[in-house]
């Protein structure tokens, strides 16, 4: 007969944290939210660490290159959505990897015999005001000059004026030789009051550009998530259908970590996908898997070789899997059980597999609950969809406030049938997601800074200065519906701005 769980599955809203002793050193400035992204052996550190425990969801409405850039600059990571052609996803990855680095491969280049009209068109297309002029117009051609907005006046110069007649020629440039360190490059930038320093090889071929703004931006974003080459890090979603073609294209683009995007990860298709990647590319290529909601799903993906495992089915704000199929589990219960299985697996094998809690987050404090229950980081869709950096359009709804479009991968709008592993079907027979709006909230960094402040303050109340300490010492209690009501404003008349006239 079928197996029955006697206890109901519970959501984050059914739990509260009890305060522990707040020591004098428990202040927000001392709290570290650094957390492992991929598995590691006992006594070692994960090869990929997050500076903030946030990942943006693998969704068309959430994670493109703009979101990936903004979140990596804050210390988290995006997984660029995979429900698009391989070439366009790989190009998004390239844009992230090329956006911010100590040494940037130039992606705005022209030839000296082109004209001012080409400069204007390229600047409009890329938004870049610095253009490298090489003999063949390639990013690594022989450098003959640089063009910036200070080299021409659109009100005076004709559009057919040749670039060679107004560019700053190579003879007048300050440049660095290949092999220069980032510190040395920045010293030259400051010494000569430059905005950009080209770096060339012994044959005068352009190798990199180093920008003053990158140095300044890093100082303003000390938690930036950077790879060994000082480039922003990004992940990418893959499916269990075209991975043999998609994975090499993403790796060639420079992706740092992969994640299989599926509504249900407890499948043989996921195991096959992980094993293919590990056998072909080795352990250096990191791939997360999921989603699962119990210990059986965790063990299956752990044995398959997953580098991290996502937890949660049906808890997303735009997900209707539970309504449509009756499949899923309350997010809190799912995280608690999978975390217990992860800890048992660690005791047996000495391998620690980080967990990502995906879905079920309504309030900021739910993130702290997810971490306390055993997740290393959380994946968020609705939260990030509200910001300027998300792909959804910003519209005014009914003449009132601004909103952002937000749609699920299981909706007809996304048509992401590949994430529903049910054999050979190449279409959605029914929707498992909705098309909706979320309130517009402004810039990502402003909102994320506030969320991080809340998380750190809560951890201080729990007497924890790190996520591992929180997981060891947190005390959680179930709450009743009456105590939930008690926790908000009640039995008062809330003031409104226009209640009284002076």
Give the model's pLDDT for residue 502: 47
Name which of 237-241, 305-309, 408-412 the model is least confident about. 408-412
* Dihedral angle computed from the Cα positions of residues 258, 372, 388 and 224, in that order, rounded to the nearest 10 degrees: -60
What's the pLDDT score for residue 417? 46
Q: What is the mean pLDDT of the chain?
A: 90
Mean pLDDT of 104-128: 90
Dump pLDDT digits (tens) for 48-57: 999 999 999 9
Annotated active-site residue in 74, 386, 419, 460: 419
Structure tokens at 333: 């219960």
Region 134-161: what's the mean pLDDT?
Answer: 94
3-state secondary structure of 128: coil
Q: pLDDT tens, 448-476? A: 999 999 999 999 999 999 999 999 999 99
- Residue 419 catalytic? yes
| Model pLDDT for residues 424-440, shown as the tens digit of each residue | 555 555 556 667 789 99
H helix runs in 65-144, sequence order = 65-74, 86-99, 116-126
In this prediction, what percent of the chain has a pLDDT beyond 90?
A: 72
| pLDDT at position 262 over 80 | yes
Angle separating helix axes 65-74 and 444-461, nearest 10 degrees: 40
Q: What is the pLDDT of residue 101?
A: 56
Length of the chain: 502
User: What is the structure's pLDDT at 325?
Assistant: 73
Rounded mean pLDDT of 252-259?
Answer: 98
Type and span of the H or E element at 372? helix 364-372
In the set 319, 356, 460, 462, the catalytic residue is 319
Say if residue 153's pLDDT is above 80. Answer: yes
In whole angstroms, what separates CA 24 from the centre of its chain? 34
Tell me which residue of 82, 46, 38 sits closest to 63, measured CA to CA. 82
* Residue 78, CB-side half-sphere exposure with 13 Å CA sphere: 34
For the chain, what is the radius of gyration of the CA atoms?
A: 25
Question: What are the backbone angles phi and psi of residue 310, rounded to the nearest 5°?
Answer: -90, 140
Residue 462 among the catalytic residues? no
Q: What would the two tokens of residue 271 be? A: 């195991």
- For residue 21, name the pLDDT band (cuts at 50, 70, 90): very high
Closest CA to 200 of 76, 103, 62: 103
Per cent of the chain over pLDDT 70 is: 91
Structure tokens of 70? Answer: 């903004």
Report whether pLDDT(236) > 70.
yes
Q: What is the mean pLDDT of residues 163-189?
A: 92
pTM of the model: 0.79
* 13-to-199, 251, 383, 483 alpha-carbon distances in Å: 54, 39, 17, 11
């Amino acid at each position: 007969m079928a197996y029955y769980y006697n206890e109901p599955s519970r959501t984050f809203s059914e739990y509260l944290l009890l305060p522990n002793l707040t020591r004098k050193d428990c202040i927000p400035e001392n709290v570290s939210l650094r957390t492992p992204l991929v598995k590691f052996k006992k006594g070692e550190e994960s090869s990929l660490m997050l500076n903030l425990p946030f990942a943006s969801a693998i969704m068309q409405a959430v994670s493109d290159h703009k979101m990936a850039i903004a979140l990596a600059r804050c210390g988290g990571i995006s997984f660029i959505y995979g429900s698009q052609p391989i070439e366009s996803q790989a190009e998004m990855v390239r844009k992230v990897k090329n956006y911010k680095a100590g040494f940037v491969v130039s992606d705005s280049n022209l030839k000296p015999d082109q004209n001012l009209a080409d400069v204007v068109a390229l600047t409009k297309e890329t938004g870049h005001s610095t253009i490298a002029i090489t003999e063949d117009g390639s990013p690594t051609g022989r450098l003959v000059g640089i063009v910036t907005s200070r080299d021409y006046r659109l009100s005076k110069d004709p559009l057919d004026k040749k670039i060679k007649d107004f560019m700053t020629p190579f003879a007048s440039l300050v440049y660095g030789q290949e092999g220069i360190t980032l510190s040395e490059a920045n010293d030259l930038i400051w010494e000569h009051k430059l905005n950009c320093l080209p770096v060339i090889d012994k044959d005068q071929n352009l190798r990199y550009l180093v920008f003053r703004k990158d140095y300044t931006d890093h100082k303003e974003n000390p938690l930036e998530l950077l790879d060994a080459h000082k480039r922003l890090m990004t992940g990418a979603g893959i499916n269990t259908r075209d991975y043999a073609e998609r994975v090499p294209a993403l790796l060639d683009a420079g992706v740092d970590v992969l994640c299989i995007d599926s509504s249900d990860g407890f499948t043989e298709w996921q195991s096959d996908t992980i094993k293919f990647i590990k056998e072909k590319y080795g352990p250096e290529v990191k791939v997360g898997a999921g989603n699962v909601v119990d210990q059986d799903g965790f063990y299956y993906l752990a044995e398959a070789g997953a580098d991290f495992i996502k937890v949660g089915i049906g808890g997303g704000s735009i997900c209707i899997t539970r309504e449509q199929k009756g499949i899923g589990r309350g997010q809190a219960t799912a995280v608690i059980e999978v975390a217990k299985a992860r800890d048992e697996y660690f005791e047996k094998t000495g391998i620690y597999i980080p967990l990502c809690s995906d879905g079920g987050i309504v309030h900021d404090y739910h993130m702290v609950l997810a971490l306390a229950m055993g997740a290393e980081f959380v994946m968020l869709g609705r939260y990030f969809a509200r910001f300027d950096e998300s792909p959804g359009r910003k519209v005014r709804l009914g003449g009132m406030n601004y909103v952002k479009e937000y749609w699920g991968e299981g909706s007809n709008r996304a048509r992401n049938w590949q994430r529903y592993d049910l054999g050979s079907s190449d279409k959605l027979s029914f929707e498992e997601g909705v098309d909706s709006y979320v309130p517009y909230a402004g810039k990502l960094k402003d909102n994320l800074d506030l969320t991080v402040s809340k998380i750190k303050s809560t951890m201080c109340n729990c007497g924890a200065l790190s996520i591992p300490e929180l997981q060891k010492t947190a005390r959680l209690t179930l709450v009743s519906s009456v105590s939930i009501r008690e926790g908000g404003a009640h039995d008062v008349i809330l003031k409104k701005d226009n209640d009284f006239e002076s």
